[in-house]
């Protein structure tokens, strides 16, 4: 596809279950970012990938959160033992270059609701 694709678009789960969120970046984009957004709020940085490596994992809220990227392309964000406070929209973005003028292209997000 032409843009960043995220799946699922909506996920409702029960507290304590594990969830996986997937991101397909724009082809050729080496940088990939995950953010979390609560309703109407700013974006909270979670993790950043350059290729398959994650130089900055500083934003992951707890050890229940993990992410990987394979083949320099698809990334998966996994949340184990979900809690109600994990409910949010999880946004993925990719960028062609990692410079201070790089533009991030965002997907439409995965809305997670933990009951």
Partner 1 sequence: TQLLKQSPQFLSIQEGENLTVYCNSSSVFSSLQWYRQEPGEGPVLLVTVVTGGEVKKLKRLTFQFGDARKDSSLHITAAQPGDTGLYLCAGFTGGGNKLTFGTGTQLKVEL
Q: Which residue among 19, 77, 91, 114 contacts partner 1 (CB under 8 A)?
A: 91
Measured from the CB atom, the residue of 15 and 30 that comes closer to partner 1 is 30
State yes or no: residue 43 binds partner 1 (CB under 8 A): yes
State yes or no: residue 99 binds partner 1 (CB under 8 A): yes
**Is residue 35 helix, strand or coil?**
strand
Among residues 54, 98, 102, 103, which one has the least CA distance to residue 76? 54
State yes or no: residue 48 binds partner 1 (CB under 8 A): yes
DSSP code of residue 103: P
Phi, psi (5° rounding) for residue 58?
A: -65, -20
* Bridge partner residues of 76 (DSSP): 22, 68
Radius of gyration of the chain (CA): 13
State yes or no: residue 106 binds partner 1 (CB under 8 A): yes
Phi, psi (5° rounding) for residue 86?
A: -80, -10
Measured from the CB atom, the residue of 31 and 114 that comes closer to partner 1 is 31
Q: Which residue among 7, 102, 113, 115 contacts partner 1 (CB under 8 A)?
A: 102
State yes or no: residue 42 binds partner 1 (CB under 8 A): yes
Judged by the rule CB under 8 A, the positions of this chain that interact with partner 1 are 4, 31, 33, 35, 40-45, 48, 50, 55-56, 91, 93, 98-109
């Amino acid at each position: 596809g032409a843009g960043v694709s995220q799946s699922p678009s909506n996920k409702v789960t029960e507290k304590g279950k594990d969830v996986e969120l997937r991101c397909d970046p724009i082809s050729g984009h080496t940088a990939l970012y995950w953010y979390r957004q609560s309703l109407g709020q700013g974006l909270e940085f979670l993790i950043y990938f350059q290729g398959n490596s994650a130089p900055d994992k500083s934003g992951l809220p707890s050890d229940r959160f993990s992410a990987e990227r394979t083949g320099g392309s698809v990334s998966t964000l996994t949340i184990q033992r979900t809690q109600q406070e994990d409910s949010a929209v999880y946004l993925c973005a990719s960028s062609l270059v990692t410079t201070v003028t790089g533009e991030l292209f965002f997907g439409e997000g995965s809305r997670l609701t933990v009951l």
